[in-house]
Each structure stands twice: as structure tokens, then as C-alpha cells.
Amino acid sequence: MPSRPMHRSLPVLLGGLLAAGVAVPAGAAGSGTQAAPRPPVADQRPHEVRAPHGAVRIDEYYWLRDDTRQNPEVLALLAAENAYTDARMAPLAGLKETLFNEIVGRVQQDDSSVPFFEDGFWYYTRFETGKDYPIVARRKGTMEAPEEILLDQNAMAAGKDFFQVGNWEVSPNGRLLAWAEDLNGRRQFTIRVKDIATGEVLPDAITGAASSIVWGDDNRTIWYVENHPETLLTTHVRTRVLGTPAGSDPIVYTERDTSFFMGIGRTRSEDYICIAVQSTVSSEQRCTPAADPGEFTVIAPRERDVEYSADHHAGRWVITTNWNAPNFRIMTVAEDALGSRDAWKELVPHADDVFIEGVTLFDGFMAIGERSEGLRRIRILEDGGESTFVQSDEPAYTMALSVNPMPDTPWVRYTYTSLTTPVTTYEINVHTGERRMLKQDPVPGFDPAQYLTERLWVTARDGQTRIPVSLVYRKGFERNGQAAMLQMGYGAYGISMDPSFNRALPSLLDRGMVYAIAHIRGGQEMGRAWYDQGRLLNKKNTFTDFIDVTAALVEKGYAHPERVAAIGGSAGGLLMGAVANMAPQKYDVIISLVPFVDVVTTMLDPSIPLTTNEYDEWGNPEQREFYDYMLAYSPYDNIRAQDYPAMFVGTGLWDSQVQYWEPAKYVQRLRATMSGGGPILFRINMEAGHGGRSGRFQRFRETAEQYAFLLDQLGVTRRD
């Protein structure tokens, strides 16, 4: 990746707009005019985008792609977009600040995590009042022991526009700390090492890496995954012996199939170091003894449409797999019976109505994360076969296993949350059933008794499919068809949008709004089939499900038909673009963040990060069948002369997952083509990537701006 440029100040960039062929928003350059701000207009420079099968499309804004992020014309346009958004949002500055203060007011600023015990130390993170970043610390033996600060991320982030620690690992002897840091949001990490006692940072910096870090038993060797500098594909596993020259790290493993991601870690027993590779539809794992690393033994050879994940504890391997089990089952195999699936024995069978998500192994039992009827639950399975479930008291909730680093305990930690319940950490004794609440995230000023959550089902347009929906609103809400509503969706990669607490939402609910999560196909809320029905040549189900949920909620009186907003990000931004084209009349406002909107062009280009990994998610448009299907829903390609909702589109210049030029082109074509509606605002974060700005308070400012736009467009002003 090219080095990051120094960004010019706004006045300098605006000075170059005329040369770039970009119209400057009135007042943006300090002219003092009172004319209404106008959006910037980019030149149209027709470019042919050809597919191998001969299909040709014309992209008049293709020139906005700049892999270097240094093109003055492109930077000028992005600066003009930000200036236009500033001008349009200026009248809402007071509302934006009010919302920001409300959200920050729900943050316990000096909060800390629940400590966990591992290898003689209690580890935790904590925040200090007024500071953006966490401090990672530990205490030896007891929480009353002196504190050792491992990472003061506030000091590390000082003077940087973006800073993120992707992972950290302590050496087996507890003396050294390795961490992976990202300075621009592109998720191309640098791994650094320091002596914990002295604080000295060693010269062994590893650049161009993924965030996976594994220490060798010798406390001198680090195992890591190398990224390709352009595509960011995880290409090699290498080892670095501390003190050896950079560039001499031997390659342990090379992954040549560009449809696979790769990671490295240790088993639960700590006895094995394992390399895991995963594509959309298949996986493979190979392991070597940590005490004497050598040849990596394959657990079972990769096979298309077969996924598995193996862990080792107490002398056996436990494997979660979809082999002849679409919703996954759990198998076991002896320690010395690796290399094929022939010796696998079933422990937990497949069930049509239960989706198995993962397993954590303990001495004498295992904790299984499952999903049933779209809700996550935890099952405890003892080695003797007795099975129990952790109970919930709400109709819509999210339950997940927490940090459980040590297997030799009868206590299982898990988190519980809902749309009205802040994240709560519990531990339960599997032998006695005793449950202890360790912590509920403090939310100053929030009273859960003032809010209600609800679960309902919507029948899709096929007349058969039932779509789960989670809702939350303030007590006193009347289902009379007058309220404003924000509906969220994602629907891709088998990622489920579980109902969980969001400390920003009360700012909408207290103003009388309803918030709904549409658990549409493409996620995995209802099992693997739910995912398969929302990908490849079934992708349009994702969009129609979302629209059908909107129509049903309006019909049931949860919202006024002219006061509906929608929000989605990344693949959820693709969803936003699709529904805006397909049913613009159903939405008054759309918030589309880091949106994947130029589907066909991106998936035709294997040099763009993620493309080759995702052929089994979207299809390979080099094949005509997929090309035609993707073209039929691609948001960028289906913009037409119709009225569009008001839109707030956001991106990050350094986004490696959805490149900034996709939303930049989308916004320009949308404004040039639409017959009415809008406005269309475009906010580009010049110092961030896919996840937005770093630092907890900076992200709240982004949310406050989006909410201010949303509330203004919906005409929502009252706050209870």
C-alpha cells in the first residue's frame, strides 16, 4: 500500500476545485453569500467496464477511483462533499450537539471491564474520564495487587488521526507483550513487542500483518499472518524469532487459494498451534505441537461445502462441522486419528430447528452457543450427557459466551443483553446452577423500566417465509400509525443482527420513535438455510424481506407511512441502495454507511481487497448468469429518474473493505439521475477506514450527526 499522504487543509483543497471540474457549494469557501448550498458536481468521463464474456457497461465516474489516495482532483471533490455536508448540517448544529451530549451522558466514563484470570494474573481494560481509548492492565494473583499497565492506548494514540489495537498477546512466561496496531483504519497491522517490566519497545516491528499473534513456548518466537500489500489477502504464515533481522522470517505455510481467509491460534489445551483457513463455503485446519513445532497435520482435507472448526482439550479433538449437517453438529476424534473425517464420532447430532454456532471446552463439560427461533442461547453439555440451558426472561435477547480463558473451573461466564437491557456479564456454576451477576454496563440516566421490547413475525411476499422482527419503544407508545420509525437491516455473510443494547437509541426512543431490526434472509438468525436463501442467486430475497417488514410494520400501526427511515452499513449499505431503487416511496430517510453499492465492477476486479474471497457470497460476474443477476440489483447500476428519499451516505477514505470510490460514484450518479427528492449528503472521514473514526467519543459525534439529519428529515422534535 502506498504511504499515506499529508492531507491539505480545506482552503487549499477548495482552491483547486475549478481545475478539478467540481462545483463549489455556495458559501463553502467563505464568500459570505447567503445562497442555498449546492452539492458538488464531478465531471462525467465515460469509461468502459468490460466483462470477460463481452458485456460492456459505461461508468462515467470511474475516474474517482484512486488507489493511492493522492489524486488532487479526487481529494478536492471529497473535500467539497464534506463542505457541502457541513453547510447543509450547519442549521442543525445545536441538535447535533444536544444529541452528542445525550449519548455521552449515558457513558460511565471511568468504566472498566470484568477482570478475567489467566496464568496467575487478572487482566482487564479500563477507561479514564474524558479519554477516548482503553488502558489494558493486569494485577498479579489478586485485584488488590499493584497494577501493571500493558497498553496505555491514549498515550499511544496521541498525535495520530487514527489508532486501533487489533489484538494483544502476553508471552507464556508473562514477561513480553506483543500487539497489533493500525494507524489508518485499513487493517494492515504492525506487530510490536515490549518488555512489560521495563516498558522498552523492542526493535522487532513486523509490518504488513493481520492481527493474529501466537507466541511460541520458547518466549522468543512469534507466529503471524502476512497480508498482501494490495489485496490484503492473508497469504503466508511466518515466524519471527526476536532479535533476528527483518525480512528473514521463514514462511511456515502459504495459502494459494485466493478465496480463503487465514488465521492462526492455539487450541484450548495450549498444546497445539493451528492454522485455520476459511472461505464462504469451506474450511481447513492444520496443527502442530506447540512444544515441538514442526510439520502441520491437516485435521481433514478441505472440501467444497464442508466447514469445520476443531479444538483440542483433555486428550481429544472436538469438531463443530456442517458435514452432512446444514445447521452443524459436534463430533469428536482421538488425538492421534487426524487426517480424514472417517474416524469422527458424533457427539451432538444435527437438528433442523437448532443452529450450532460454537463450542467452548471445559474440564468435564462444554458450553455450546446455539440459535433457535432466531435467538441465541447457551447449552451446557456435561461429559456424562446431561444437558441444560441458561434461561432468559425477555422475548427478544442476545446471550453469548464471554471470556473463559481457563478450562479448569465449573463457572461459565456469559453476557446477556437486549434492546432494553445493557450488556450484563454473568457466571453460572454448571454443578449447582448458582448464577452470579458480575457486572451490568452502567448507563447513567437510563431506566430500562421506561422501555418495552417486542418480538413479532412478518410473512414475506411469498406467503410462506416468516421473518423475525425485534422492536423497542418507550412506554406509552400507541400503535396508532402516527409514529416515526427507524428500521435497521444487514442480511449478508450469515451474520446475524441480534437485539442488543445501544446507548444511542434512547435519544430516538425518548422522542417517540420506534426502532426495529429486520432479521432478513442472508443472515443466519434462522439457521444455515436462512443464509443460503439470501446469497448468490437468492440475494434479492434480502431486499424484498426488508421492504415487506416495512410494509407490515406500517400496516400494523407501528409507524406513519411517511415517517419511515432505514439504516444499514457495508453489506447493509448495499441493502439500503437496493431498497432505495426498488421502493423509494416507502422510505423518507435512508442512512447508508460505508455502502457496498457498485457490486458488479468491484467483483470483476480481483485486485480489490475481498473480491476473490467473496465469489461464493455474491457470485463471480465473470460467469454470465451471475453477472446478469448481480447487475439486476446493483444499486449503482439501477439508479433511475425517480424521487429518492433523503439520504446520508458515509465512508472512510482508507476503507479497505468497501473502497471510498463506491459511495463517491454512487452519490454523484444519484444526484445526476434522480428526478426529485433528497437531499443527498455525503460525509467522508479522511482519517478512517471501514469502522469509522477511532476513539469512543469521536464515534458518538458521527452518530449524533446522522441522528440529527434523521430527526430533522422526519420532523421529530419532541423529547419526553
Please compute the mean of the pLDDT values over residues 396-417 and round it to a whole number.
94
Find out whether 160 and 148 touch, Cβ atoms under 8 Å. Answer: no
Residue 469, C-beta contacts closer than 8 angstroms, at least 6 positions apart = 455, 456, 457, 458, 516, 517, 518, 519, 549, 552, 553
- Give whole-number Cα distances, 427 to 390, 402, 406, 417, 676, in Å: 10, 9, 13, 14, 55
Helix (H) or strand (E) holding 253: strand 251-254
What does the mean pLDDT of the chain come to?
91
Find out whether 648 and 270 touch, Cβ atoms under 8 Å. Answer: no
Sign of the torsion formed by the C-alpha atoms of 536, 539, 542 and 545: negative
Give CA angle at 678 (627, 99), nearest 5°: 110
DSSP 497-545: ------TTTHHHHTTT-EEEEE--BTBSTT-HHHHHTTSGGGTHHHHHH
Which one from 212, 690, 694, 712 is the annotated catalytic residue? Answer: 690
Residue 302 is given by DSSP the state: -
Residue 238: predicted pLDDT: 95
Q: Each residue of 342-367: pLDDT tens digit?
A: 999 999 999 999 999 999 999 999 99
Residue 688: predicted pLDDT: 66
pLDDT above 50 for 11? no
Beta strand pairing status for 564-569 and 485-488?
parallel
pLDDT above 60 for 15? no
Flag the least confident range among 601-605, 614-618, 692-696.
692-696
Find out whether 115 and 427 touch, Cβ atoms under 8 Å. Answer: no
Residue 229: predicted pLDDT: 80
Q: Each residue of 645-672: pLDDT tens digit?
A: 999 999 999 888 899 999 999 999 999 9
Which one from 259, 470, 496, 570 is the annotated catalytic residue? Answer: 570
Residue 655: predicted pLDDT: 83
Extended beta strands in 441-477, E state? 451-459, 466-474
Whole-angstrom distance, CA of residue 472 vs CA of residue 487: 11
Residue 692: predicted pLDDT: 61
Where is pLDDT greater, at 8 or 209? Answer: 209
Residue 540: predicted pLDDT: 98
Residue 14: predicted pLDDT: 32
- Give whole-number Cα distances, 637 to 58, 550, 580, 628, 633, in Å: 10, 24, 12, 11, 8
Extended beta strands in 344-462, E state? 345-348, 355-362, 365-372, 375-382, 387-389, 398-401, 411-417, 424-429, 435-440, 451-459
Residue 248: predicted pLDDT: 86
pLDDT above 50 for 607? yes
Whole-angstrom distance, CA of residue 45 vs CA of residue 50: 16
Residue 21: predicted pLDDT: 41
Q: Where do we find the cell 460511565? A: 108
Find out whether 239 and 225 touch, Cβ atoms under 8 Å. Answer: no
Question: Across the chain, how many H-helices and E-strands are there?
Answer: 14, 39
Please compute the mean of the pLDDT values over residues 4-14 and round it to a whole number.
29
Residue 13: predicted pLDDT: 31
| 450-561 maps to CATH 3.40.50.1820 | yes
Flag the least confident range among 175-179, 297-301, 383-387.
383-387
Residue 617: predicted pLDDT: 96
Find out whether 688 and 594 touch, Cβ atoms under 8 Å. Answer: no
Residue 137, C-beta contacts closer than 8 angstroms, at least 6 positions apart = 123, 124, 125, 126, 147, 148, 149, 150
Q: Each residue of 104-137: pLDDT tens digit?
A: 999 998 899 999 999 999 999 999 998 889 999 9
- Give whole-number Cα distances, 334 to 272, 303, 340, 342, 637, in Å: 14, 21, 12, 12, 53
Where is pLDDT greater, at 534 or 35? Answer: 534
Residue 693: predicted pLDDT: 61
Find out whether 490 and 696 touch, Cβ atoms under 8 Å. Answer: no
350 is an active site residue: no
Whole-angstrom distance, CA of residue 322 vs CA of residue 531: 14
Which one from 655, 656, 694, 712 is the annotated catalytic residue? Answer: 655
φ, ψ (nearest 5 deg) of residue 18: -60, -40
Please compute the mean of the pLDDT values over residues 144-156 and round it to a whole number.
95
The SS3 assignment for 425 reads strand
> Residues in the chain, how many?
720
Give CA angle at 262 (259, 267), nearest 5°: 145
pLDDT above 80 for 515? yes
The SS3 assignment for 686 reads coil
Whole-angstrom distance, CA of residue 503 vs CA of residue 510: 12
Three cell numbers written together for 410? 465449573
570 is an active site residue: yes
690 is an active site residue: yes
696, burial (CB in 10 Å: exposed 0-12, middle 13-18, buried 19+): middle
Domain range summary for the chain, segments of one domain joined by +: 351-443, 450-561
